[in-house]
Structure 1
Amino acid sequence: MNEFWQTLISRRSDLMSAIWQHIQISLVSLLIAMAIGIPLALLVVRHHRAANVLTQITGVFQTIPSLALLGLLIPIVGIGTVPAVIALVVYALLPIFTGTLTGLTGIDPSLEEAADAFGMTRTEKLIRVEFPLAMPTLIAGIRQALVMIIGTATLAALIGAGGLGDFILLGIDRNNNSMTLIGAIASALLAIVFSGIIFILQKSKLRYAVATLALIILVPSGIGIYNAVQPAPQTITIAGKMGSEPDILINMYKDMIHQVDPRDKVVLKPNFGQTVFLFNALKSQQIDIYPEFTGTVLESLVKPTKKQKEIGTPPTQLYQYAKNDLSQQFHMTYLKPMDYNNTYAVVIKKSYADAHNIKTIADLQKVEGNLLGGFDLEFLDRTDGYKGLQSKYGLNFKTQSMDPDLRYEAINSGKINLTDGYSTDSQIRQYRLVALQDNRQLFPTYQGAPLMNTTFANKNPKIIVALNKLAGHISERDMQEMNYEVNVKQQSAASVAKHYLTTHHLLGGAR
């Protein structure tokens, strides 16, 4: 509990910023969903067949997995607030549309006939009779939609839109339960508070309810929309994959860029997600730079030749293959790589390895029938992942997919006995694990380097010079220690990155 309160106090400014971002995203989404859902219901209220079709369509929208929808939107509208809002609007349409439709179709026919007898026009009847009578059901639909939006908006953090999801993802990544709880509790409290306010409005007089609801929605939404459309200063956006290591690297990039030009505005997007999210965002110029690894380039991003996959190819040659292919196939510039090789590793508990005399991946054949592997989806689908373990090592054991941030917790608690990792992971040291020797050379070399579009590189030669100063630096031991400081000692990635750059004389007087 002490750790929870200390984290809450130390992160209070970040929390307030995240709450405000969360409210803006949620209310902008709600406003747009209302602007679509309510008119649609009015349009089809007297056309039962069309109403049924639209109800089915909005119902189908809610069955689309949120991560899949975000992944589909990134190549079209990029990253950040826009795809997050689109996804949230899609999910909010059903309760708003059906709430409005149910409210309007549930009106006593005798009241409709009385309005007609008084000679009211269609518009007059709608405003003076139908809407007031339908309002409780309509507001109930809005209330349900808003609660759903606030809960789902935590996923916006996966695509750099901010909000309370940043706290949850960061907590999971750093094994910091306090941060995860703070994000989850704050999101739940927001949903309860806004649900309570709308519930009270349901019981209020119509004009006061409508005026208050409009105020609650329009003020934050207006600010959010204004911030989204106003001309923004030119910025350099640097994104990183999930985990402490990409977070450290992008903070290094930021410091190196600021050293050559302190006027540059650098925006970091940590914990951005899987490789495909970042690569698509880079192709669509929604981000400018992200750290990528030679093995990932050759195995997942480009179309390499058989020669490039030959066993024993020197790391320098692999990098050159990756650099040339990225340039030719995608018009991207791949800068010089760092020293360490952050290759894949098959990881088991040291106690399990000692008990069964397992030192290499091939030795797993002794216990193949007892293995349960927990791998992230990317490893399961890669030829240099589980598929490679099957083809090159002849291994075929039970597996289950899991979030990369949870796999080490799972192996430590005994829920699985085998997982994928990286050679620089701090958890190998933290949980007394062992990375098995890849005696048949399944995993290629993974040297990291900044990746960017060539147009960006040509416009920013100073940035190229600055980032190339990292080439040849950072050993595997250095990187594992920095990961340990962030994940276990709970130091910030920014301070760890700056400390390394300063102590290795890469950052200093020129700034």
Structure 2
Amino acid sequence: MISLLVDRREWFLDLLMQHVAISLISIALAAIIGLTLGIAIAQWRRGAKPVLALVNFVYTIPSIALFGFLIPVTGIGDVTAVVALTVYALLPLVRNTYTGLTTIDPAVIEAARGMGSTDRQLLYRIELPLAAPVIMSGIRNMTTMTIALAGIASFIGAGGLGVAIYRGITTNNLALTLAGSVLIAVLAIVVDLVLGVAEKTTRRHLEPTRHRSTRRGARIAVVIVTSVALLAGATYAVSSFEKGQGAGTINIATKPMTEQYILGEMLNTLIEHDTDLNVELTQGVGGGTANIQPGIEKGDFDLYPEYTGTGWNAVLKHDDTYNESMFNDMQDEYETKMSLTWLGMYGFNNTFGLAVNKDTADRYGLHTYSDLAKVAGELSFGAEPDFYDRQDGYPGLQQAYNMNFGTVLDMDIGLKYQALFEGQVDVITVFTTDGQVADDRLVVLEDDRQFYPSYLCGNVVRMDTINAHPELSDVLLKLQGLISDTDMARMNNEVETKGREPKDVADEFLSERGLI
């Protein structure tokens, strides 16, 4: 892990800056909204219960569900992450502000009014200073929680250190997962310590004759650290926005799969090598097609690698089984309904498969899907969440093979193999180009009724992007038919088993083919 942090320090520093920017913006918004709400309900007590109840209710919504609610409105990326984190950060600040203001000794308030203080003077000169320690405690809790929770933002294509964690999980790289986790923990601890000093300062402020020099030094330290953090975060946020929105920038998204990481790096390298365009690469968007497709239709992304069978069934919502003779019909629908087109078909077919642990295969004599259907009721089945909703997924298997498992589990793509090998699940879905398919502990069963359609991989591109940058077409067509099933499986294995970086594997392949 330490070697990884040293070798890829620039990449981790970039992710750290992203994490700080997303967290700071969320914290600043939550502070403004939370303080305003807390002061308002402290002044208007009848509104306290409904406001606190609403904030409490929103806080109980699972983060993944909240992301799902926001995506149709705010799209994929940093904006959705900031909105979600701001919502979650409101509760401690609203509650602490309200508590701090309502627990002040009434005798103090009465004395201040007796001396002629106006409501405004009472609030700013008496109530807020007295409530400051409690409010500062809320800010401290809110800030630490937001920094930790920001790690999940990578699930919806936002930046931050969660990218390292999620990529480590999907590529079977424990060191990468640990590195991202440790950096988030260290960042949260450091910020908590700094805010702890600020909290103690507010408490000492109520004892004006003690520790004046200490308070002054603490204030200076807090101001310096906070200013540096704000400046760094703001600078990164502005530079990231300008980079992502530039006229010569191509925004590419990939799914959370090893081969998609590799393809994304290929596209990045080749486009920047052959053109004057810049590439903004959003790696491993959680939910895959379900979240990327709305993003590309909205304009958040310009292109992403997709699979023909998925396009036909999951995007266009057709119920019949796809085969490559339908490609022109699919292309027409993409262009007329969504102003998208398929360009640059890589050549490999990454279709679904079902795999079992070798011990399970031997115990039940499993060779085909039909064999599996006979004993499915005794077994547990694991797949990524969207597999259970798509017609070419679990519902289709049930119809085609009368296959009903005793237990079904939602699992991340990157965790399925580990769960199978550890005996936590009996059957999983696999992709035929997965690097771990060659593992001796695993048996891929035969689809004896030819249920699964073709899943040739190609690029889905916005037509207005092609029109604006016609040179992009030439680059994508260089990838036409370039990668075989064997090539893709080998590259995936280099990353998943040998621990190589997707970019290194991608660049090596392009170099071998004479493209760079």
TM-score if structure 2 supplies the norm length?
0.91
Q: Is the 8 A contact 2:17 2:233 kept in 1?
A: no
Residue 319 (structure 1) shift:
2.2
Match of 2:463 among 442, 454, 459: 454
- Using the alignment, how far apart are the partners of 1:154 and 1:215 within structure 2? 26
**Partner of residue 175 from structure 1, selected from 164, 172, 192:** 172
How far apart in 2 are the matches of 1:164 and 1:272?
Answer: 14
d(CA) in 2 for partners of 1:188, 1:432: 35
Q: Which residue of 2 aligns with 1:485?
A: 494
The number of equivalent residue pairs is 497
SS at match of 2:187: helix
Secondary structure of 2:459's aligned partner: strand
Q: Which region of structure 1 is more displaced relative to structure 2, 103-112 or 329-338?
A: 329-338
Deviations 1:39-86 (A, max 9, x none): 122122132221111111111221222222223333333333222111
Per the TM alignment, residue 23 of structure 1 is displaced from its structure 2 partner at its CA by 2.0
Aligned to 1:46: 43
Aligned partner of 1:149 in structure 2 is 146
Higher alpha-carbon deviation: 369-378 or 354-363: 354-363
Partner of 1:298: 312
Amino acid at match of 2:303: I
Query: Do the aligned partners of residues 410 and 299 (structure 1) sit closer, same or farther apart at CA in structure 2, a change above 3 Å counting?
Result: same
Structure 1: how far apart are the matches of 2:224 and 2:326? 59
**Alignment CA distance shift 1:90-1:215 (3 Å):** farther
Question: Aligned to 1:353, which of 351, 355, 361?
Answer: 361
Q: Which of 468, 488, 507 is the matching residue for 1:498?
A: 507
Could you say which residue in structure 2 is the equivalent of 1:159?
156
Contact 1:31 1:217 in 2 (8 A): no
Instruction: Call closer, same or farther: CA 1:430–1:91 in 2, change over 3 Å.
Output: same
Residue matched to 2:281: 268
For residue 115 of structure 2, the aligned residue among 114, 118, 131 is 118
**After the TM superposition, which of the residue ranges 247-256 and 83-92 deviates more from structure 2?**
247-256
Choose from 314, 320, 333 the match for 2:341. 333
**8 Å Cα contact 2:96/2:135 also seen in 1:** yes
Contact 2:369/2:401 (CA < 8 Å) preserved in 1?
Answer: yes
2:212 corresponding residue in structure 1 = none
Unaligned regions of 5+ residues in structure 2, if any? Answer: 206-214
Query: Percent identity at matched positions?
Result: 36
CA displacement, residues 165-200 of structure 1 (integer Å, 9 cap, x when unaligned): 011112111212122112112212222222222222
Larger deviation, residues 172-181 vs 146-155: 172-181
**RMSD of Structure 2 on Structure 1 (CA):** 2.0
Structure 2 residue corresponding to 1:37, chosen from 27, 34, 37: 34
For 1:353-372, list aligned pairs within 5 A.
353-372=361-380
Hey, what's the Cα distance between the residues in 1 that align with 2:46 and 2:413?
46
Q: Which of 400, 408, 413 is the matching residue for 1:404?
A: 413
Amino acid aligned to 2:409: Q
The equivalent residue for 2:67 is 70
Structure 1: distance between partners of 2:295 and 2:7: 32
- Higher mean C-alpha displacement, 99-108 vs 248-257: 248-257
Query: 1: distance between equivalents of 2:23 and 2:224?
Result: 15
Aligned amino acid, residue 247 of structure 1: Y
CA distance in 1, matches of 2:57, 2:440: 44
Aligned to 1:342: 350
The structural deviation recorded for 1:219 is: 4.3
| Aligned equivalents of 1:248, 1:24: Cα separation in 2 | 27
The residue number in structure 2 matching 1:132 is: 129
AA aligned to 2:126 is: V
Residues 136 and 32 of structure 1: CA distance in aligned 2, closer, same or farther (over 3 Å): same
* Structure 1 position 158, deviation (Å): 2.2
CA distance in 1 between partners of 2:291 and 2:223 (Å): 36
What aligned pairs does 1:421-432 form with structure 2 within 5 A after superposition? 421-430=430-439, 432=441
- Is the alpha carbon distance of 1:94 and 1:345 closer, same or farther for their aligned partners in structure 2, counting shifts above 3 Å? same
Distance in 1 (CA, whole Å) between partners of 2:488 and 2:95 is: 53
Cα distance in 2 for residues equivalent to 1:380 and 1:137: 47
Say if 1:334 and 1:451, in contact at 8 Å, map to a contact too. Answer: yes
The 1:254–1:19 alpha-carbon spacing in structure 2 relative to 1, beyond 3 Å, is closer
Task: Please tell me whether the aligned partners of residues 323 and 453 of structure 2 are also in contact (alpha carbons under 8 angstroms).
Answer: no
Give the TM-score normalised by the residue count of structure 1. 0.92
2:81 to 77, 84, 102: 84
1:379 to 378, 387, 392: 387
Indicate the larger mover: 354-363 or 447-456. 354-363
Confirm or deny: 8 A CA contact 2:165 2:177 kept in the other structure: yes
One of 178, 190, 193 as aligned partner of 2:190: 193
Verify: 1:241 aligned to 2:255, yes or no: yes
Gaps of 5+ in 1: none
1:411-468 deviations in Å (ceiling 9; x for gaps): 0111111000100011111353122111112211001111111111222221112102
1:24, distance to aligned residue in structure 2 (A): 2.3
- Please point out which of 221, 224, 229 is paired with 1:220: 229
CA distance in 1, matches of 2:464, 2:296: 12
Residue 340 of structure 1 aligns to a residue whose secondary structure is strand
Amino acid at match of 2:396: G
| SS in structure 2 of the partner of residue 339 of structure 1 | strand
Query: Is 203-212 or 357-366 further displaced after alignment?
Result: 203-212
Matched ranges for 1:9-28 at <5 A: 9-28=6-25
Instruction: Tell me how far 1:223 sits from its aligned partner.
Output: 4.4
Cα distance change of structure 1 residues 431 and 152 upon mapping to structure 2, 3 Å threshold: farther
Query: SS at 1:400's partner residue?
Result: strand
Q: Secondary structure at the match of 1:203?
A: helix
